[in-house]
């Protein structure tokens, strides 16, 4: 294995961009807008790699298609982590003989982790003649060159040599979403777990420069991204190969200080390098999601040693305990392998007990899959498949019960969630901890943060409704279906909701304030200015009132007297409404006005006392 890291130069990338230009000219001469289809298997790192492939293709003049049928280029970006995933790829690759028969000019490529296995490229050469090229993850940056070679009539392309692990900055990306973004911070892995093929197909660890990652994150946030997920096979070892002396916690801290309303997530973490400094940093910054995916793989220290995981049961549990101590609301997920070679029934029960002790929110569960070329593939494995399946089913039942219990405890809680899409007739959203939430609403809410009150739960997801709507309905307030977000006052809605959750009854006045501002803005503005000034309700509502005043200042002759003298005229306008309000106080509640305006809130409490 070549362990050297190579930084791809700008001159090398310029050669690839020149190939993009040649490909675009090739299709322009034909008068055709070509279609490309990229199919992605496996992890989020593969998803990020596919975004770069789509970037190259777009720069080469291709439009993106949604299926292989009729596409001019088909790329299968593959995963080698499990045998089942590989067999699925081979099956789908074979099916492409039919699409190519119907469209003989179609070009087909296989890339990703499978492409880094010699046995795979050999099989493609011998049994899949319709495949035009294979390139490993180390050669992704050369894809335009590979594609141009094929289009210009050269023989099948196999870029699979054991090249040094590379880092190429500046490859264009076409992202699946402007709302959420993957950001690779490092590539490869040094851990060599005995069951894992990744170090052999993705190379040794190599970190991107600190400043390059920050620049990419700033650009994404300025472009409207609400969630950034940092990617690496083991993000916790970020920076070990860099001279600056900065680690992953330092990177998280720097990104968290970028201005904007967004969340930072990351995966995957290795317990070996998960430090108290990392957990303290997560706890310190609100922009870092209190969500942690920390694979434990087995609850048995003997099995963990056989897996070459570099920690034991006690070490793992102590790290989890510290993380939960500094982040009490931490959402914790993990990976676990059932049936590792030599695992006994007693060792499997240790895994069950660890799951019950930690109380994971959810687990990604796998039955051991031997990968040729890894040490575990040659280990003695006497446990029959039927026994492994039994253990797997039991483990899933234990975890499903825990997940259901945790989800049921969400019912009645109000949470800030990012609305990220639609699934049939329901919007989908994610809590800070990454839990899936379904709620009603229109598509214009997608891409916004919403406060949602959880009303139902299953093992896998939560259901919710808008928190203010829920409060209004549950409290019996005489306000129609109300949503401050729809009225354009999201900050006020959030702040009022926070007051409601504290049990502050004054917030109901603020709620009615916003509702009546929408119904009849100007006549109410002065009154509510008095209310807010007197009781210290959220300042953002006062700002909204001033916005309302400004909005109508130049268009209403009825209130022309407020023009001219800035704060003085505003005070005069408020004083005029104070007189009206004082009269209403006397007539409706018999309360005398006083200078500190406490009577205004007393007035509202009398008028709406049955509805608070």
**pLDDT tens for residues 493-504?**
566 666 666 666
Q: Which residue has the higher pLDDT, 178 or 490?
A: 178
C-beta atoms surrounding 325 within 10 Å = 12
* Amino acid 380: pLDDT: 95
Please check the confidence at residue 150 and state whether its pLDDT lies above 60.
yes
pTM, full prediction: 0.82
Place of tokens 């130069």: 9
Confidence grade of residue 443 (pLDDT, cut at 50, 70, 90)? very high
- For 108, the token pair is 């087909």
* Amino acid 478: pLDDT: 54
Confidence grade of residue 574 (pLDDT, cut at 50, 70, 90)? very low
Mean pLDDT, rounded, of the chain: 83
* Amino acid 104: pLDDT: 95
Distances (CA, A) of 315 to 275, 311, 332: 11, 6, 16
364: left (phi over 0), alpha (psi -120 to 50) or beta: beta
Alpha-carbon gap, residue 50 to 113, rounded angstroms: 12
Q: Work out the percent of the chain whose per-residue pLDDT is above 90.
A: 69
* Amino acid 511: pLDDT: 58
> What are the tens digits of pLDDT across the range 456-470?
999 999 999 988 777
Please check the confidence at residue 450 and state whether its pLDDT lies above 60.
yes
415: left (phi over 0), alpha (psi -120 to 50) or beta: beta
Query: Percentages helix, strand, coil for the chain, rounded to the nearest 5?
Result: 50, 15, 35
Return the minimum-mean-pLDDT range out of 190-199, 275-284, 532-541: 532-541
How large is the average pLDDT for residues 276-292? 97
Return the minimum-mean-pLDDT range out of 285-294, 434-443, 504-513: 504-513
* Amino acid 238: pLDDT: 97
Contacts with 140 (C-beta within 8 Å, 6 or more apart), sequence order: 49, 52, 53, 111
Confidence grade of residue 490 (pLDDT, cut at 50, 70, 90)? low
- For 115, the token pair is 């492409």
Domains of the chain: 5-167 (3.40.50.12160), 180-397 (3.80.30.20), 414-471 (2.40.50.140), 490-607 (no CATH)
Confidence grade of residue 531 (pLDDT, cut at 50, 70, 90)? very low
How large is the average pLDDT for residues 144-163? 93
Q: Output DSSP code: residue 90.
A: H
* Amino acid 471: pLDDT: 73
Confidence grade of residue 515 (pLDDT, cut at 50, 70, 90)? low
Q: Which residue has the higher pLDDT, 146 or 43?
A: 146
Alpha-carbon gap, residue 386 to 311, rounded angstroms: 30
Q: Which residue has the higher pLDDT, 553 or 439?
A: 439
Q: Comparing C-alpha atoms, which of 271, 284, 359 is closest to residue 315? A: 271
How large is the average pLDDT for residues 345-355? 98
3-state SS class at 55: helix
> What are the tens digits of pLDDT across the range 222-264?
999 999 999 999 999 999 999 889 999 999 999 999 999 999 9
Q: Which residue has the higher pLDDT, 477 or 416?
A: 416
Chain centroid, CA 305 distance in Å: 33
Helix 521-535, helix 506-519: angle, nearest 10: 160
Continuous segment of H or E residues that includes residue 386: helix 385-408
Return the minimum-mean-pLDDT range out of 267-281, 409-423, 594-608: 594-608
* Amino acid 520: pLDDT: 43
Please check the confidence at residue 25 and state whether its pLDDT lies above 60.
yes
Please check the confidence at residue 541 and state whether its pLDDT lies above 60.
no
Contacts with 36 (C-beta within 8 Å, 6 or more apart), sequence order: 54, 57, 62, 63, 64, 65, 71, 72, 73, 74, 75
* Amino acid 569: pLDDT: 40
Distances (CA, A) of 414 to 355, 469, 531: 27, 12, 27
Alpha-carbon gap, residue 233 to 242, rounded angstroms: 17
Q: Comparing C-alpha atoms, which of 173, 184, 161 is closest to residue 115? A: 161
Chain centroid, CA 95 distance in Å: 33
Q: Which residue has the higher pLDDT, 338 or 513?
A: 338
């Amino acid at each position: 294995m070549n362990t050297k890291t190579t930084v791809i130069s700008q001159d090398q990338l310029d050669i690839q961009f020149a190939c993009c230009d040649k490909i675009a000219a090739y299709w322009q001469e034909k008068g055709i807008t070509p279609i490309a289809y990229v199919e992605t298997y496996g992890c989020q790192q593969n998803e990020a790699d596919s975004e770069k492939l789509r970037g190259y293709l777009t720069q080469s003049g291709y439009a993106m298609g949604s299926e292989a049928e009729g596409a001019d280029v088909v790329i299968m970006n593959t995963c080698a982590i499990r045998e089942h995933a590989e067999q699925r790829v081979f099956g789908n690759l074979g099916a492409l003989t039919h699409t190519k028969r119907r469209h003989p000019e179609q070009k087909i490529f296989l890339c990703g982790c499978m492409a880094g296995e010699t046995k795979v490229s050999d099989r493609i050469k011998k049994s899949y003649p319709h495949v035009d090229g294979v390139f490993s993850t180390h050669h992704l940056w050369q894809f335009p060159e590979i594609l141009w070679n094929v289009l210009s009539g050269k023989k099948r392309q196999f870029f699979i040599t054991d090249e040094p692990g590379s880092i190429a900055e500046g490859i264009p990306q076409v992202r699946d979403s402007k709302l959420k973004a993957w950001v690779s911070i490092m590539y490869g892995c040094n851990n060599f777990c005995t069951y894992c093929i990744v170090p052999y197909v993705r190379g040794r660890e190599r970190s991107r420069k600190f400043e390059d990652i920050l620049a990419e994150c700033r650009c994404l946030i300025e472009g409207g991204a609400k969630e950034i997920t940092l990617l690496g096979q083991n993000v916790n070892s970020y920076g070990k190969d860099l001279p600056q002396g900065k680690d992953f916690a330092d990177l998280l801290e720097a990104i968290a200080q970028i201005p904007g309303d967004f969340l930072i997530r990351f995966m995957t973490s290795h317990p070996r390098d998960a430090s108290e400094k990392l957990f303290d940093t997560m706890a310190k910054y609100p922009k870092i999601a209190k969500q942690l995916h920390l694979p434990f793989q087995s609850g048995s220290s003997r099995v963990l040693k056989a897996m070459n995981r570099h920690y034991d049961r006690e070490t793992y549990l102590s790290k989890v305990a510290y993380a939960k101590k500094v982040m009490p609301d931490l959402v914790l997920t993990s990976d676990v392998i059932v049936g590792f070679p030599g695992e006994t029934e007693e060792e499997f029960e240790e895994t069950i007990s660890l799951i019950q002790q930690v109380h994971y929110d959810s687990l990604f569960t796998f039955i051991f899959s031997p990968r040729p070329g890894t040490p575990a593939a040659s280990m003695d494995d006497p446990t029959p498949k039927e026994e492994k399946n039994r253990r797997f089913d039991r483990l899933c039942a234990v975890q499903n019960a825990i997940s259901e219990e945790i989800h049921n405890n969400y019912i009645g809680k109000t949470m800030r969630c990012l609305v990220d899409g639609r699934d049939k007739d329901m919007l989908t959203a994610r809590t800070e901890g990454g839990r899936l939430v379904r709620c009603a609403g229109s598509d214009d809410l997608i891409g916004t943060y919403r406060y949602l009150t959880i009303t139902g739960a299953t093992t896998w997801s939560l259901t919710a409704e808008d928190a203010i709507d829920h409060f209004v309905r549950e409290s019996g307030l005489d306000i129609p279906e109300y949503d401050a977000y729809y009225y354009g006052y999201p900050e006020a809605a959030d702040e009022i909701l926070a007051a409601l959750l504290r049990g502050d009854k004054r917030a109901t006045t603020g709620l009615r304030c916003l509702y009546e501002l929408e119904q009849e803005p100007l006549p109410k503005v002065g009154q509510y200015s008095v209310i807010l000034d007197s009781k210290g309700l959220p300042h953002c509502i006062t700002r909204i009132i001033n916005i309302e005043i400004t909005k109508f200042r130049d268009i209403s002759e009825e209130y022309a007297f407020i023009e001219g003298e800035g704060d003085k005229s505003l005070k005069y306008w408020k004083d005029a409404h104070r007189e009206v309000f004082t009269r209403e106080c006397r007539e409706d509640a018999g309360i005398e006005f006083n200078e500190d305006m406490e009577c205004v809130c007393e007035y509202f409490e009398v008028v709406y006392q049955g509805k608070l």
